Amino acid sequence: MSIFEIEKEVEKVRFVLEKNGIDHVVRARVGINLDVSGSMVELYKQGVVQRVVERILPLGLACDDDGEIDVWGFSSRTALACVATRENYKNIVNQEMMDGDLDHILWEGTQYAPVIQANLKYYSEPHSPVLNFFRKLFKGHNEEEQSLPVINYFLTDGENTDPQATQTLFEHIEETDAQIYYLLIGVGHAKYEFLRQMAERFPNVGFVPVKNLAQFLEDESIYEQLLPAELCTWLKHEHDEEDGHH
């Protein structure tokens, strides 16, 4: 996808936001958690996951405070893979995930809790050594950005082996008002009963079932599915809360 096509996608994102009553500039951070468990190998080899990043990037450019998206890889372990921008998005999955420093977590099992814990640490601890390192490495985030709402797109193709630990983290996020909305994207034909339960239970968790990821990425209505009404309502509420504190 060319940068011109990316910019056209940004306009589509803004149109969907306006349809949902968000007609001003949205300041939020955007991240994506990408499943790198063993069953995902073919989707990476076929370039489908690269296409995912290219489809999420316009959301970051339209919504994100700095025009970046944080990209995480997770299996039974997790790591921050890279920060995707207008400048580096082409072939970023191969360069930063497949040929990068993620060898130690690729093609293992599927656990959700480690990556959610890593997200929370990254977004809520501005003085942690890990975050300070990434801040210097990837242009960085200032103190103000730590209070912005976060939209995280969580892509997986399989049920997790740690449901209790994951649920506990979602409970913690709700109790502490951590300002993170997770849109869980379940790929393939699994029932995803756990993900559906989490989406039904928590106001800051949504679920989108996707039987064929490649087809989904070509769908003209993709941004309406990636920006559902519940997420937009949550985002408006978070911004109203922020405005109320000024």
Strand 180-187 vs strand 205-210: parallel, antiparallel, or unpaired?
Answer: parallel
Instruction: Express the helix, strand and coil content of the chain in percent, nearest 5 each.
Output: 50, 20, 30
Token duo for residue 113: 């809790």
Does residue 182 contact residue 167 with C-beta atoms inside 8 Å? no
State which H helix or E strand residue 232 sits in.
Answer: helix 229-244
Contacts of 44 (CB under 8 A, 6+ apart): 36, 93, 97, 98
d(CA 91, CA 154): 20
- pLDDT tens across 86-122, in order? 999 999 999 999 998 788 899 999 999 999 999 999 9
- At residue 187, what are phi and psi to the nearest 5 degrees? -95, 140
Return the number of other C-beta atoms located less than 10 Å from residue 168's C-beta.
13
Burial status of residue 230 (CB atoms within 10 A of its CB: 0-12, 13-18, 19 or more): middle
Closest CA to 73 of 9, 6, 169, 155: 155
The model's pTM is 0.90
CA distance 200 to 203: 8
Q: Does position 127 have pLDDT exceeding 50, yes or no? A: no
Q: Do residues 63 and 32 lie in contact, with contact meaning Cβ atoms separated by under 8 Å?
A: no
Q: Considering all CA atoms of the chain, what is the largest pairwise distance in Å, rounded to the nearest integer?
A: 49
Whether residue 145 has pLDDT greater than 70: no
Q: Could you report the per-residue pLDDT of 180-205, keeping only the tens digit for each?
A: 999 999 999 999 999 999 999 999 99
Interval 13-58: pLDDT, tens = 999 999 999 877 778 999 999 999 999 999 999 999 999 999 999 9
Domain ranges in the chain are 19-218
Average pLDDT, the chain: 89
What is the topology classification, in CATH, of domain 19-218?
Answer: Rossmann fold (3.40.50)
